[in-house]
Amino acid sequence: MVDTTAAVPNGLFQVGQRPPLGRYLAEAWRRRAFGFQLASYRLVSDLMQNRLGVLWLVLKPLSMVLIYGTIFHFVLSGGSRPDSFLPFLIIGVFVFEFFTGCFGAGSKAITANSKLVQSLGFPRILLPISVVIEQALKMVPIIVLLYILMLVLGEPVTWTWLLVVPILLVMGVFNLGVALIVARLSTHARDVQQVIPIINRVLFYVTGIFFSVDGALANYPTLLTAVQLLPTYEFVSLVRSVLLGTFTAPALVWIAAPIWAVVTLVTGTIFFWRAEARYGLSD
Protein backbone atom coordinates (compact mmCIF):
# COMPACT_ATOMS: atom_id res chain seq x y z
CA MET A 1 0.00 0.00 0.00
CA VAL A 2 1.38 3.39 -1.02
CA ASP A 3 1.19 6.38 1.32
CA THR A 4 -0.96 9.02 -0.40
CA THR A 5 1.12 11.81 1.15
CA ALA A 6 3.87 10.96 -1.32
CA ALA A 7 1.61 12.26 -4.08
CA VAL A 8 1.05 15.74 -2.65
CA PRO A 9 4.34 17.33 -3.79
CA ASN A 10 3.55 16.19 -7.33
CA GLY A 11 0.40 18.28 -7.58
CA LEU A 12 -2.11 15.44 -7.81
CA PHE A 13 -5.82 16.22 -7.58
CA GLN A 14 -9.15 14.44 -7.71
CA VAL A 15 -10.76 13.81 -11.08
CA GLY A 16 -13.25 11.27 -12.39
CA GLN A 17 -13.10 11.57 -16.15
CA ARG A 18 -11.11 9.91 -18.91
CA PRO A 19 -9.22 12.55 -20.93
CA PRO A 20 -8.37 12.11 -24.64
CA LEU A 21 -5.51 9.67 -25.15
CA GLY A 22 -3.03 12.29 -26.31
CA ARG A 23 -3.64 14.59 -23.35
CA TYR A 24 -3.66 11.57 -21.02
CA LEU A 25 -0.21 10.44 -22.13
CA ALA A 26 1.11 13.99 -22.04
CA GLU A 27 -0.11 14.36 -18.46
CA ALA A 28 1.46 11.02 -17.53
CA TRP A 29 4.77 12.22 -18.98
CA ARG A 30 4.50 15.49 -17.06
CA ARG A 31 4.00 13.54 -13.84
CA ARG A 32 6.67 10.92 -14.61
CA ALA A 33 8.57 11.89 -11.45
CA PHE A 34 5.62 10.57 -9.44
CA GLY A 35 5.98 7.16 -11.08
CA PHE A 36 9.70 7.06 -10.29
CA GLN A 37 9.02 8.04 -6.68
CA LEU A 38 6.44 5.30 -6.27
CA ALA A 39 8.88 2.74 -7.65
CA SER A 40 11.78 3.86 -5.47
CA TYR A 41 9.68 4.11 -2.27
CA ARG A 42 8.23 0.66 -2.82
CA LEU A 43 11.61 -0.88 -3.59
CA VAL A 44 13.26 0.61 -0.49
CA SER A 45 10.29 -0.38 1.67
CA ASP A 46 10.42 -3.99 0.46
CA LEU A 47 14.17 -4.25 1.01
CA MET A 48 14.04 -2.75 4.50
CA GLN A 49 11.61 -5.44 5.63
CA ASN A 50 14.31 -8.11 5.17
CA ARG A 51 17.49 -8.48 7.18
CA LEU A 52 19.57 -9.16 4.08
CA GLY A 53 17.98 -6.27 2.19
CA VAL A 54 19.35 -5.82 -1.32
CA LEU A 55 21.08 -9.20 -1.20
CA TRP A 56 17.71 -10.87 -1.74
CA LEU A 57 17.61 -9.37 -5.23
CA VAL A 58 20.40 -11.73 -6.24
CA LEU A 59 19.93 -14.53 -3.70
CA LYS A 60 16.50 -15.44 -5.04
CA PRO A 61 17.53 -16.08 -8.67
CA LEU A 62 20.78 -17.69 -7.50
CA SER A 63 18.87 -20.14 -5.31
CA MET A 64 16.66 -21.04 -8.27
CA VAL A 65 19.74 -21.64 -10.41
CA LEU A 66 21.20 -23.88 -7.71
CA ILE A 67 18.03 -25.95 -7.39
CA TYR A 68 17.31 -26.33 -11.10
CA GLY A 69 20.96 -26.80 -11.97
CA THR A 70 21.39 -29.61 -9.45
CA ILE A 71 18.22 -31.43 -10.48
CA PHE A 72 18.33 -31.10 -14.25
CA HIS A 73 22.08 -31.65 -14.54
CA PHE A 74 21.33 -35.34 -13.95
CA VAL A 75 17.94 -35.47 -15.71
CA LEU A 76 18.65 -33.90 -19.08
CA SER A 77 20.35 -35.79 -21.87
CA GLY A 78 20.63 -35.80 -25.65
CA GLY A 79 19.45 -32.88 -27.76
CA SER A 80 17.50 -31.29 -24.94
CA ARG A 81 20.67 -30.68 -22.90
CA PRO A 82 22.24 -27.40 -24.04
CA ASP A 83 25.93 -26.69 -24.38
CA SER A 84 27.33 -24.58 -21.53
CA PHE A 85 24.45 -25.79 -19.38
CA LEU A 86 25.13 -23.65 -16.30
CA PRO A 87 25.51 -20.28 -18.13
CA PHE A 88 22.49 -21.24 -20.25
CA LEU A 89 20.44 -21.84 -17.10
CA ILE A 90 21.64 -18.71 -15.30
CA ILE A 91 20.68 -16.43 -18.18
CA GLY A 92 17.28 -18.09 -18.50
CA VAL A 93 16.42 -17.73 -14.81
CA PHE A 94 17.69 -14.15 -14.52
CA VAL A 95 15.92 -12.82 -17.62
CA PHE A 96 12.69 -14.70 -16.95
CA GLU A 97 12.63 -13.20 -13.45
CA PHE A 98 12.25 -9.75 -15.04
CA PHE A 99 9.10 -10.85 -16.86
CA THR A 100 7.48 -12.63 -13.92
CA GLY A 101 8.13 -9.66 -11.64
CA CYS A 102 6.38 -7.24 -14.00
CA PHE A 103 3.60 -9.70 -14.80
CA GLY A 104 2.72 -10.51 -11.20
CA ALA A 105 3.18 -7.06 -9.68
CA GLY A 106 1.53 -5.44 -12.68
CA SER A 107 -1.69 -7.33 -11.98
CA LYS A 108 -1.83 -5.66 -8.55
CA ALA A 109 -0.84 -2.17 -9.70
CA ILE A 110 -4.38 -0.80 -9.27
CA THR A 111 -5.92 -3.15 -6.71
CA ALA A 112 -3.02 -2.83 -4.24
CA ASN A 113 -3.26 0.97 -4.38
CA SER A 114 -7.03 1.35 -4.01
CA LYS A 115 -6.91 4.25 -1.52
CA LEU A 116 -4.49 6.16 -3.72
CA VAL A 117 -6.67 5.58 -6.77
CA GLN A 118 -9.88 6.57 -5.02
CA SER A 119 -8.58 9.70 -3.32
CA LEU A 120 -6.26 11.38 -5.83
CA GLY A 121 -6.51 12.38 -9.46
CA PHE A 122 -3.57 11.40 -11.65
CA PRO A 123 -3.06 9.26 -14.76
CA ARG A 124 -3.50 5.73 -13.42
CA ILE A 125 -1.09 4.47 -16.04
CA LEU A 126 1.66 5.70 -13.72
CA LEU A 127 0.94 2.81 -11.36
CA PRO A 128 1.82 -0.01 -13.83
CA ILE A 129 4.70 2.13 -15.08
CA SER A 130 6.05 2.40 -11.53
CA VAL A 131 5.84 -1.38 -11.22
CA VAL A 132 8.01 -1.89 -14.31
CA ILE A 133 10.45 0.79 -13.13
CA GLU A 134 10.73 -1.00 -9.77
CA GLN A 135 11.42 -4.33 -11.47
CA ALA A 136 13.96 -2.67 -13.77
CA LEU A 137 15.77 -1.23 -10.75
CA LYS A 138 15.87 -4.72 -9.26
CA MET A 139 17.49 -5.96 -12.47
CA VAL A 140 20.51 -3.66 -12.10
CA PRO A 141 22.39 -5.80 -9.52
CA ILE A 142 21.21 -8.93 -11.33
CA ILE A 143 22.75 -7.73 -14.61
CA VAL A 144 26.02 -6.96 -12.83
CA LEU A 145 26.00 -10.42 -11.25
CA LEU A 146 25.17 -11.96 -14.62
CA TYR A 147 28.29 -10.44 -16.20
CA ILE A 148 30.41 -11.56 -13.25
CA LEU A 149 29.12 -15.14 -13.45
CA MET A 150 29.73 -15.30 -17.21
CA LEU A 151 33.35 -14.26 -16.60
CA VAL A 152 33.79 -16.76 -13.77
CA LEU A 153 32.34 -19.55 -15.92
CA GLY A 154 34.82 -18.80 -18.68
CA GLU A 155 32.57 -17.25 -21.32
CA PRO A 156 34.69 -15.16 -23.73
CA VAL A 157 34.03 -11.42 -23.54
CA THR A 158 32.87 -9.91 -26.84
CA TRP A 159 31.37 -6.60 -27.93
CA THR A 160 27.94 -8.28 -28.12
CA TRP A 161 27.82 -8.28 -24.30
CA LEU A 162 26.94 -4.60 -24.62
CA LEU A 163 23.64 -5.59 -26.23
CA VAL A 164 22.25 -7.09 -23.03
CA VAL A 165 21.02 -3.73 -21.71
CA PRO A 166 19.27 -2.67 -24.97
CA ILE A 167 17.60 -6.09 -25.20
CA LEU A 168 16.33 -5.81 -21.63
CA LEU A 169 15.09 -2.27 -22.34
CA VAL A 170 13.03 -3.60 -25.24
CA MET A 171 11.84 -6.39 -22.96
CA GLY A 172 10.86 -3.72 -20.42
CA VAL A 173 8.64 -2.13 -23.08
CA PHE A 174 6.97 -5.48 -23.65
CA ASN A 175 6.64 -6.06 -19.90
CA LEU A 176 4.95 -2.68 -19.51
CA GLY A 177 2.38 -3.59 -22.14
CA VAL A 178 1.65 -6.84 -20.32
CA ALA A 179 1.45 -5.04 -16.95
CA LEU A 180 -1.07 -2.56 -18.36
CA ILE A 181 -3.29 -5.34 -19.66
CA VAL A 182 -3.33 -7.42 -16.48
CA ALA A 183 -3.66 -4.31 -14.29
CA ARG A 184 -7.00 -3.50 -15.91
CA LEU A 185 -8.17 -7.12 -16.05
CA SER A 186 -7.51 -7.53 -12.32
CA THR A 187 -9.73 -4.57 -11.45
CA HIS A 188 -12.64 -6.41 -13.06
CA ALA A 189 -11.79 -9.88 -11.79
CA ARG A 190 -9.28 -10.50 -9.00
CA ASP A 191 -9.17 -14.13 -10.17
CA VAL A 192 -6.65 -12.99 -12.78
CA GLN A 193 -4.07 -12.70 -10.02
CA GLN A 194 -4.62 -16.37 -9.13
CA VAL A 195 -4.12 -17.49 -12.72
CA ILE A 196 -0.86 -15.60 -13.27
CA PRO A 197 1.37 -18.04 -11.28
CA ILE A 198 -0.03 -20.87 -13.41
CA ILE A 199 0.72 -18.97 -16.62
CA ASN A 200 4.23 -18.21 -15.36
CA ARG A 201 4.87 -21.87 -14.63
CA VAL A 202 3.72 -22.91 -18.11
CA LEU A 203 5.85 -20.22 -19.74
CA PHE A 204 8.82 -21.24 -17.61
CA TYR A 205 8.81 -24.69 -19.19
CA VAL A 206 7.79 -23.66 -22.70
CA THR A 207 10.45 -20.95 -22.82
CA GLY A 208 13.15 -23.54 -22.19
CA ILE A 209 14.77 -22.02 -19.14
CA PHE A 210 16.73 -25.17 -18.27
CA PHE A 211 16.65 -27.14 -21.53
CA SER A 212 17.17 -26.52 -25.22
CA VAL A 213 13.82 -26.00 -26.93
CA ASP A 214 15.54 -26.08 -30.32
CA GLY A 215 17.04 -29.48 -29.58
CA ALA A 216 13.95 -30.98 -27.94
CA LEU A 217 11.65 -29.90 -30.79
CA ALA A 218 14.09 -30.39 -33.67
CA ASN A 219 11.80 -33.03 -35.21
CA TYR A 220 8.69 -30.84 -34.84
CA PRO A 221 9.42 -27.74 -36.94
CA THR A 222 5.90 -26.29 -36.76
CA LEU A 223 5.75 -26.58 -32.99
CA LEU A 224 9.29 -25.21 -32.71
CA THR A 225 8.36 -22.14 -34.76
CA ALA A 226 5.32 -21.57 -32.54
CA VAL A 227 7.52 -21.66 -29.42
CA GLN A 228 10.08 -19.35 -31.03
CA LEU A 229 7.31 -16.78 -31.46
CA LEU A 230 6.67 -16.65 -27.72
CA PRO A 231 7.97 -13.32 -26.38
CA THR A 232 9.54 -14.86 -23.28
CA TYR A 233 11.46 -17.36 -25.41
CA GLU A 234 12.59 -14.57 -27.70
CA PHE A 235 14.00 -12.24 -25.06
CA VAL A 236 15.72 -15.06 -23.17
CA SER A 237 17.18 -16.34 -26.45
CA LEU A 238 18.44 -12.90 -27.43
CA VAL A 239 20.36 -12.47 -24.18
CA ARG A 240 21.77 -15.98 -24.51
CA SER A 241 22.80 -15.27 -28.07
CA VAL A 242 24.83 -12.16 -27.17
CA LEU A 243 26.45 -13.68 -24.08
CA LEU A 244 27.09 -17.29 -25.11
CA GLY A 245 29.30 -18.29 -27.97
CA THR A 246 27.57 -21.67 -28.10
CA PHE A 247 24.06 -20.31 -28.66
CA THR A 248 22.63 -18.50 -31.66
CA ALA A 249 19.11 -17.08 -31.63
CA PRO A 250 17.08 -17.73 -34.79
CA ALA A 251 16.71 -14.77 -37.17
CA LEU A 252 12.97 -14.86 -36.53
CA VAL A 253 13.58 -13.96 -32.89
CA TRP A 254 15.48 -10.76 -33.71
CA ILE A 255 12.59 -9.60 -35.88
CA ALA A 256 9.66 -10.69 -33.73
CA ALA A 257 10.88 -9.47 -30.30
CA PRO A 258 10.74 -5.71 -31.02
CA ILE A 259 7.44 -6.17 -32.85
CA TRP A 260 5.99 -7.89 -29.79
CA ALA A 261 7.23 -5.01 -27.61
CA VAL A 262 5.64 -2.26 -29.72
CA VAL A 263 2.36 -4.07 -30.37
CA THR A 264 1.93 -5.08 -26.73
CA LEU A 265 2.71 -1.59 -25.44
CA VAL A 266 0.28 0.12 -27.86
CA THR A 267 -2.44 -2.45 -27.17
CA GLY A 268 -1.90 -2.31 -23.42
CA THR A 269 -1.88 1.49 -23.32
CA ILE A 270 -5.16 1.84 -25.20
CA PHE A 271 -6.79 -1.03 -23.30
CA PHE A 272 -5.77 0.45 -19.95
CA TRP A 273 -6.70 4.03 -20.86
CA ARG A 274 -10.23 3.10 -21.94
CA ALA A 275 -11.07 2.15 -18.34
CA GLU A 276 -9.34 5.13 -16.74
CA ALA A 277 -12.51 6.72 -15.36
CA ARG A 278 -13.69 3.46 -13.77
CA TYR A 279 -10.63 2.43 -11.75
CA GLY A 280 -11.65 4.25 -8.59
CA LEU A 281 -15.06 2.59 -8.74
CA SER A 282 -13.77 -0.87 -9.67
CA ASP A 283 -11.85 -1.29 -6.45
pLDDT tens-digit series, residues 133-143: 999 998 998 99
Average pLDDT rounded to a whole number, residues 43-51: 66
Residue 2 covered by a domain: no
Residue 174 lies in a domain: yes
pLDDT at residue 264 tops 80: yes
Residue 205 counted as domain residue: yes
Prediction pTM value: 0.85
Q: Are 26 and 142 in contact (CB under 8 A)?
A: no
Per-residue pLDDT, averaged over 108-124, amounts to: 83
Domain that holds residue 196: 63-275
CA-nearest of 45, 23, 18 to 124 is 18
The verdict on residue 159 lying in a domain is yes
Out of 8-22, 121-135, 239-253, pick the least confident.
8-22
32 within domain boundaries = no
Residue 20 has φ and ψ, to the nearest 5°, of: -55, 150
- For residue 262, tell me if it sits in a domain: yes
Q: How confident is the model at residue 12 (pLDDT cuts 50, 70, 90)?
A: very low
Determine phi and psi for 280, rounding to 5 degrees: -65, -30
* Dist CA 172 CA 136 (whole Å): 7
Please report the sign of the dihedral spanned by the C-alpha atoms of residue 217, residue 219, residue 222, residue 228.
positive
How many other C-beta atoms can be found within 10 angstroms of the C-beta atom of residue 276? 19
Residue 58 inside a domain? The answer is no
In a domain, 208, yes or no: yes
Alpha-carbon span 103 to 185, nearest angstrom: 12
Tens digit of each residue's pLDDT (9 = 90 or more) over 49-59: 655 556 666 76
The total domain count for the chain is 1
